[in-house]
Structure 1
Amino acid sequence: MIIGTNWGRIHVLDHQGNKVKEFSPHSNPVTMLDMDDNGDYVASCSHDRKVVIQGLYTVENSHNLTMDSPVRSVALDPFYHKPRSGRRFVVGTTKVVLYEKAMFGQLRSTVLSEGSGPARAMKWMGQFLAWATDSGVRVMDMNTKTVITLIKRDHSLALPCDQYPPHLCWPDSKTLIVGWGDSVKVCRVRERSANPATLTPGMMDLPPYYLEIVYMFTTDFYVCGVGPLDEHLVVLAYNKQTDLSLASLGVDSRRPQMRVLEPLQRTFEEISKDVLGIRCYQEYKPANYHLECLIEDRQFYIVCPQDVVVAKPRSSDDRIEWLLEHDKHKEALELVETCRDVQNYTVLSVGRIYLDHLMANGQYQDAAKLCTQILGSDKVLWEEAVVRFNRVRQLRVLSPHLPLGEGIRLDPAVYQTVLLDLLNTDHPGFLQVVQDWPGHLYNVSFVINAVLETLARNTNNMVLLQALAHLYSNIDKHDKALAIYLKLKHKDVFYLISRHNLYACVAKHVVELMTLDSAATLDICCQHIHIIPPDSVVTSLSAHPNYLYKYLDTLYERRRDMSAKYHSQLVALYADQDRSKLLPLLLTSSSYDLSEALEVCRMRCLTTETIHLLDRMGNSIESLQLILEEEQDILWAIRLCKEHDDADLWNRLIEYALDKPEYIRELLNNIGTHIDPLMIIQRIPRGLEIPGLRDALVKILHDYHLQISLRTGCQRILVADCSNLLNKLVSTQNAALPVYGDTMCPACNKKVLPTSREEQGSIVVFACRHAYHQLCLPDGTEQEVCLLCRKDKKRSFLLS
């Protein structure tokens, strides 16, 4: 790093700011410095009209020139250190002059430009040289020594160039950034078409390169320096007026700022802004600031009369350090987890700082959650955390977050320490941990003894009893766990039964289980009926009719085949608990005692059920009597008589209905053809007024006519079918029957058909297709049945 001062001295510093070399080539303030690409030579100029080319490691090719006017700018050829580069450099006064090495070590000067004012800034990159005068910025191709572009000054003329100087920067050999006053331009060097066919006559004399402005915008601040940062621009800014946003934060808007901008067409977007802490900034103007940059290292140097500030993009480590200094530990931890370029910090290091902060401020809940995030699978760190939380009596906060053996398992003593602390301080928390932690993590018997000691002082502690039941379950003492759950009336007993297959104990404790949750108990009993026999359940529930009803009802619905022997009990239970289910049971089941069921129904005055039972037992007369006297349902009575089709029942029904006109009408309307209507009509008392009698008689006549029509039609169909079948039988019997040559006579076992004309005789063929010689049949009798078939019939009859 090379720095020129107002006293004409030049200081050579390393990147840490340590002085390496110093020399005093000038007597007035140094106006500009430049170096070659290799860093071997330094060019400086001053108002004392001197231009000095100083070798840092050799005196060869060093020069000390005196101009005829103050020198404002100088530029070294980037390849000045190379022997055959011509050792060129450019000096800017009121004119721009190129100096290059001639024969015998002499310098040859060439005026590149004059008459446009003093050259206030100058930069050389590759083959292109850019300098700024009061009229604008010129770019020259140093290979051809021709100006390829003039960028005219377009900002306000009210900004004098000596107070608002131009600033030039070459990010690469084809890009130029110009910052001047309150305007910024980004330019690209383009090459003209090399195809002669596309060049017009006027373009033949133009230089091969030209400069194109790709971005141009005006700022709300004065530009004190420019530089590139990836795709963005870094601008050293000086506010034009008071910045209210900074003033609200107590920051003087006259402080210089480093702004990162994204260039756009005619405008820009501000990415970031940093206020610089410069000493005596109140006394400085834009001309007092200068910006240089190392593009490859992404470092920027802000130079002012009393300070040199090194700026670089903030790294993730810088951000984390700043966050930690300002107690923003959560954001720092999130950053170190998401960023891959962090070098000085790890999740553990930042997390431990955050953990210390939380513990110091009493935020134990957040600290416990943080342990899961930062300690990972480090057993030692977890045990240290347990000790630390135990020291502040906050193990109950840490307990939900301890590792439970998945990838890491702590010593059993650690888990036991936590459990004992919870046992003494937080019983609900103790229960939760016992339920969540596997039993293999700690000595369960040791914890059980501790719980029993605590329960000895407080025997009615339901929370500890529940925890004790869970602990007993962990060591397979399920009978004790079941007894405790039943004592507590806790529904976890069903989970215990299903998990450890304790169905054999259900029948013994079925009453307690039904009291706790009847639905769950019934599900278990019906699903595991091979383990829980219904006889034992019924015996246990016999003193609890309501529970017995629920069990037998569920058994009847789900396992009807297993419930048959309990239908007699179910009849009585249905009669008391749910009458709507009684009648369907009576109608569909045949496994109950009819006499007992009838006695149950009569004792409870269940008339409908009694009627069905009497009818089923064959006592239809008493059933009819109950229907007529108790239910007074004539239609039901008629249905009963139709079902039995008993004349005695009909007579009893008619006798009962003779003095009841409504019953007579219903009888006439519904008897149909089951009985003779005259049995009713002739017995109706004279003078009895029967509503609807005419319609009933008309219906009887219509039904009778319909019956006669049906009978006549059926008789006609029957006669026709008989005639057809008879004709078919006669024609079948009269049809010829074939007799083949190999047919044998069953009587003589000879062929039926003769072999010669002399043996020819009569043949008899029966309907069964057996053929006989007529002579072989018994004389004097007419055979209607084949002798062979008749013997078979006799044999079958005797065998049967």
Structure 2
Amino acid sequence: MEGDSKPSFQKRKENGETQSQDTTQEHNKESERDAAAAEKMGEDTVKRLEGVPVAQQNKGGDQDEGKEDSEEESEEEEEEEPKLKYERMSGDLREILKKDGASCIAANSKLVVVGTNSGHVHVLDHQGNRVREFWLHSRPVTMLNLDGNGDYLASCSHDRKVVVQGLYSTDNCHSLVMDTPVRSVALDPHYHKPRSGRRFVVGTNKVTLYEKAMFGQLRSTVLAEGGGPARAMKWEGQFLAWAIDSGVRVTDMTTNAVITLIKRDHSLALPSEQYPPHLCWPDPNTLLVGWGDSVKVCRVRERLTPPTPHLAPTPTLTLPPYYLEIIYMFTTDFYVCGLGPLGEHVVVLAYNKQADVPALPSSGQASTSPTTTDGRRPQMRVLEPLQGRFEEISKDVLGIRCFQDYKPANYHLESLVDDRQFYIVSPQDVVVAKPRSADDRIHWLLTHNKHHEALQVVRTCREVHKYTVHSVGQVYLDHLISTGQYQEAASLCPQILGSDKALWEGAVVRFNRARQLRVLSPHLPQGPLDPAVYQTVLLDLLHSDHQGFLQVVQEWPGRLYNVSFIINAVLETLARNASNLTLLRALAHLYSNIDKHDKALAIYLKLKHRDVFHLIGRHNLYACVTKHVLDLMSLDVDATLEICISHLNIVPPEKVVVALSNHHEFLYRYLDSLYERRREQSKPYHSQLVQLYADWNRPKLLQLLLHSSCYQLGPALEVCQSRNLTVETIHLLDRMGSSMESLRLILEEEQNLDWAIRLCKEHDDVDLWSRLINYSLDKPDCIRALLNDIGTHIDPLLIIQRIPRGLEIPGLRDALVKLLHDYHLQIELRTGCQRILVADGSKLLNKLVTIQKAATPVYSHTECPSCNKKILSSGGGTGGEGSGGTLVVFACRHVYHHHCLPDHSQQSHPPGTPAQPHEVCQVCRNDKKKSFLSS
């Protein structure tokens, strides 16, 4: 039920804003029961607001009151874009309506059928051309209805006749004569199908269903009677709705059961003859009801669960499987002459309650200009339904022929939901309303000078056929240029003109005539225009906007124009104004475009402008840096240093140092950067860096002296002494071996005993300790500090024995305690170390003895390294002739026959010592000789 594809309205739930009604099939009690239920359930929501509009609308007002106020409002309020467009049906219909008046209409996607006051039925195409004509009635046709396929047409008339006419076949056609005039008729949407039952419903003072019975006969069933004639009727899907004087009934045609009665709630002073009801099904489950000045949007829903017994009105009540819910209802400030869906909105053919309506311009059929006229023109209003009210989206006043002679009952509105078309019918006119297409919207926006919005639509909407971005953009450009909005026009050119050479050249001509090329220049494409175009722009900027000229020269590549031609023009201008810095910068850039970088560099240096660094980087002019390093440093030290340090192979340090030798601050900055980033390359200049750090950065001097060994100590000492840099001098003296002088400066100049103690500990020199002790003997604090720190380095008695008698030393006891504790700790550490050494030595010696005592295996395949014969004979004895079976085994596991070894007993040992022959393995001795010779 909820998933149909046709337009639908979403429900917004609020208390008291829905209404449903259940009925029984007992027709004699149905009206009373429905009325009671509606009165009970709709008491809080059905408001009788006769004559009270719930949405305000701009009106022109009477000519004799408020005319000036109306004109002011008209000027202040911006004209809204219409939602619909209108076209009067012409063709044969024009001649038909000259002789006869239209009384009703029916339409589908293939045909339009018009009923007239004379009883004729005209079948037309959508252009108004006659296809067929039937003379079915003798009095005005009151209603026409087509089946779902458009194959059959039903008509009724005041002559009491009902005719079902086949448009393409004579089968299943019927002609009935009723007892009373027939107001409404409805064909089953599936009437064209063979097994549909060929049903149709006729509305007189009762509503009767006719369906095909046996032998081609018709069987009739009275669905309802009483409550007045059925003035309107619509059948969609399985549901049939018809309107009687008491309200609108909805019936489920699968069971012929009435679902509900939508009770009439507008004023009874609006008779149904003059203000007839209007029904429309946007989809099989949504019903629109417009009657008098009331509009309702209803939804048929399936009853999901049966109600509990205590809620049933009577014990025998059987509820239908569907119920109807009013999701929107509101009262209008106009009379409804017809309505239909437009997406989530409702389109209403309106008739003003008051006599003043907007006037119609002479050139069209609809207007939104609120001025007054002397008649009541019908209006097409697009409304957004809300709870208890509505919001008007748009309002168009229609130029219907002879509108002065018509009342609400003379107008009809037929809606084609799928095609989104509306047929507005009056006796002398048929107007077709359609939603405005994207092309229509663009046309309206252009005619109302909303060019930007039109351009957005043509870019984003895929349904545009008549317009292109180029065509709309050209109109927009024309408008901007004609109104002097050159900046906006120039910014729009890239989007509109694209890469079209001819269009761009035309735009340049137009802007040149207006002397606004400087505005267009930032937006010109960098190709494929002729060089003359770019030169024209550059020359214009050269004479009118020097800053703009510079910017364009920097942005445009030199291939776009004749650079030499522009250079000559710039030189001519500079001849009259040589101090123009902006043009000089532009000239430098132009020179760089033709690879005359030396001239460009000279200009930038003359100007002292930072663009010189961009020039160097862009064209790899690093070889020129050495020549101009002083000028570059004067311009920007950091940028120059970055170039010099990053390109040492092109900008060698020795040349830079020579160039900066007379500018010590620049030299300091350069050598400091070199030392920080390329320390290896900075070593030859550490001596110079010592003097520079002494003058410009003393904290770094000490770090250099401590970590570098590439400077000359003597000159460095002179630098430090000449500047009274005591700490640095102490360090240099210590490195030069003058430790005693360093200690003197520490004690006398710095008076830093801790530093002095550290110096003595580093050198561990008795003379230094003696000098320090002598210095401390008359200073109790120094004696205490020495006792605390030197207990593990020298004999404490050297200090204690030399302390003068009677000298009071604060903290002496604690110092002595610490001294003794340190001494005992040192003794314990030495003892422990000795024990560890003895234990390790004993363990390793035992291991060595064990290894050396181990037997050396001799295998049968082992060969003597000297004779290359096997050590053991095949019989198991020792091999070798005359050897006496003696083998010699060395610790290196080499095994020899005794007789194969030379006897070195006499040569190897001095007299008086026991002979130790064969104490050296010949193989190992030869390996050692080879290793020694190769090394």
2:546 maps to which residue?
A: 427
2:494 maps to which residue?
A: 372
Post-superposition offset of 1:643: 1.8
Q: Structure 1: how far apart are the matches of 2:102 and 2:903?
A: 161
SS at match of 1:399: helix
Which of 571, 574, 589 is the equivalent residue of 2:693? Answer: 574
Which of 177, 182, 186 is the equivalent residue of 1:119? Answer: 182
Which of 65, 86, 90 is the equivalent residue of 1:15? Answer: 90
Using a 3 Å threshold, how does the CA distance of structure 1 residues 737 and 314 change in structure 2: closer, same or farther?
closer
User: How do residues 98-497 of structure 1 correspond to structure 2 at under 5 angstroms?
Assistant: 110-114=176-180, 118-120=181-183, 133=204, 140-141=210-211, 144=218, 146=220, 149-150=223-224, 151=242, 152-153=244-245, 154=247, 155=264, 156-166=267-277, 180-182=291-293, 219-220=331-332, 221-226=334-339, 234-240=347-353, 255-260=377-382, 272-278=394-400, 284-291=406-413, 300-304=422-426, 309-405=431-527, 409-497=528-616
Contact 1:121 1:132 in 2 (8 A): yes
Contact 1:766 1:786 in 2 (8 A): no
1:526 maps to which residue?
A: 645
1:73 maps to which residue?
A: 141
Q: Structure 1: how far apart are the matches of 2:685 and 2:902?
A: 77
Which moves more between the two structures, 446-455 or 682-691?
682-691
1:313 is aligned with what amino acid? P
Which of 606, 617, 630 is the equivalent residue of 2:749? Answer: 630
Q: Structure 2: how far apart are the matches of 1:44 and 1:792?
A: 137
Post-superposition offset of 1:708: 3.5
Post-superposition offset of 1:333: 2.0
SS at match of 2:525: coil
Q: Percent identity?
A: 60
Q: Structure 2: how far apart are the matches of 1:441 and 1:14?
A: 59
Using a 3 Å threshold, how does the CA distance of structure 1 residues 788 and 418 change in structure 2: closer, same or farther?
same
Q: Structure 2: how far apart are the matches of 1:650 and 1:300?
A: 118
In the alignment, structure 2 segments of 5+ residues that lack a partner are: 1-87, 167-172, 192-197, 225-241, 248-263, 302-320, 360-367
CA deviation profile, 1:520-565 (whole Å, cap 9, x unmatched): 2212211111111000111111111111111111111111111110
1:563 maps to which residue?
A: 682
Q: Does 1:786 align with 2:907?
A: no
SS at match of 1:311: strand
2:238 maps to which residue?
A: none
1:536 maps to which residue?
A: 655
Q: Structure 1: how far apart are the matches of 2:344 and 2:838?
A: 114
Q: Structure 2: how far apart are the matches of 1:378 and 1:545?
A: 60
State the TM-score, normalized to the length of structure 1.
0.77
SS at match of 2:178: strand
In the alignment, structure 1 segments of 5+ residues that lack a partner are: 1-12, 102-106, 191-209
CA deviation profile, 1:427-463 (whole Å, cap 9, x unmatched): 1111111111111111111111111111111122111
Q: Does 1:620 align with 2:620?
A: no
Using a 3 Å threshold, how does the CA distance of structure 1 residues 447 and 722 change in structure 2: closer, same or farther?
closer
Post-superposition offset of 1:646: 1.9
Contact 1:658 1:664 in 2 (8 A): yes
CA deviation profile, 1:238-261 (whole Å, cap 9, x unmatched): 244699999995568954221346
Q: Does 1:512 align with 2:580?
A: no
2:799 is aligned with what amino acid? I
Post-superposition offset of 1:218: 6.2
2:748 is aligned with what amino acid? E
Contact 1:571 1:585 in 2 (8 A): yes
Post-superposition offset of 1:414: 0.3
Contact 1:187 1:212 in 2 (8 A): no
Post-superposition offset of 1:604: 0.4
Contact 1:148 1:211 in 2 (8 A): no
Which of 584, 599, 602 is the equivalent residue of 2:718? Answer: 599
Post-superposition offset of 1:722: 5.6
For the pair shown, the structure with the greater C-alpha radius of gyration is: 1
1:196 maps to which residue?
A: none
Q: Structure 1: how far apart are the matches of 2:809 and 2:588?
A: 80
Q: Structure 2: how far apart are the matches of 1:785 and 1:400?
A: 105
Contact 1:399 1:418 in 2 (8 A): yes
Using a 3 Å threshold, how does the CA distance of structure 1 residues 244 and 287 change in structure 2: closer, same or farther?
closer
Q: Structure 2: how far apart are the matches of 1:602 and 1:239?
A: 110
Q: Does 1:92 align with 2:158?
A: yes
Contact 2:162 2:182 in 1 (8 A): no
Q: Structure 1: how far apart are the matches of 2:218 and 2:625?
A: 107
Q: Structure 2: how far apart are the matches of 1:781 and 1:235?
A: 144
Post-superposition offset of 1:761: 9.1
Post-superposition offset of 1:673: 3.7
SS at match of 2:336: strand
Using a 3 Å threshold, how does the CA distance of structure 1 residues 123 and 709 change in structure 2: closer, same or farther?
closer
1:10 maps to which residue?
A: none
Which of 629, 633, 642 is the equivalent residue of 2:761? Answer: 642
Alignment RMSD (CA, Å): 5.1
2:31 maps to which residue?
A: none
Using a 3 Å threshold, how does the CA distance of structure 1 residues 517 and 144 change in structure 2: closer, same or farther?
farther
CA deviation profile, 1:346-404 (whole Å, cap 9, x unmatched): 22222222212111111100111121221122111110100000001000000111111
Using a 3 Å threshold, how does the CA distance of structure 1 residues 387 and 462 change in structure 2: closer, same or farther?
same
Q: Structure 2: how far apart are the matches of 1:750 and 1:164?
A: 139
Contact 1:765 1:772 in 2 (8 A): no
SS at match of 1:404: coil
Contact 1:122 1:131 in 2 (8 A): yes
Post-superposition offset of 1:654: 2.1
Post-superposition offset of 1:180: 4.3
Q: Structure 2: how far apart are the matches of 1:499 and 1:621?
A: 59
Q: Structure 2: how far apart are the matches of 1:304 and 1:460?
A: 83
1:144 is aligned with what amino acid? L
Post-superposition offset of 1:675: 2.5
CA deviation profile, 1:126-163 (whole Å, cap 9, x unmatched): 55656655x57766558836357453331354322332
Q: Which has the bigger relative contact order, CA under 8 A and spacing at least 6? A: 2
SS at match of 2:395: strand
Contact 2:162 2:177 in 1 (8 A): yes
What is the count of residue pairs matched by the alignment?
738
Using a 3 Å threshold, how does the CA distance of structure 1 residues 39 and 608 change in structure 2: closer, same or farther?
closer
Which moves more between the two structures, 698-707 or 560-569?
698-707
1:571 is aligned with what amino acid? V
Post-superposition offset of 1:172: 11
1:658 maps to which residue?
A: 777
Contact 1:121 1:168 in 2 (8 A): no
Using a 3 Å threshold, how does the CA distance of structure 1 residues 149 and 398 change in structure 2: closer, same or farther?
farther
2:741 is aligned with what amino acid? E
Q: Structure 1: how far apart are the matches of 2:96 and 2:819?
A: 142
1:3 maps to which residue?
A: none
1:119 is aligned with what amino acid? V
Using a 3 Å threshold, how does the CA distance of structure 1 residues 537 and 17 change in structure 2: closer, same or farther?
farther
CA deviation profile, 1:19-38 (whole Å, cap 9, x unmatched): 5468968xxxx684679999
Which moves more between the two structures, 730-739 or 273-282?
730-739
1:610 is aligned with what amino acid? T
CA deviation profile, 1:607-628 (whole Å, cap 9, x unmatched): 1111111111111111111111
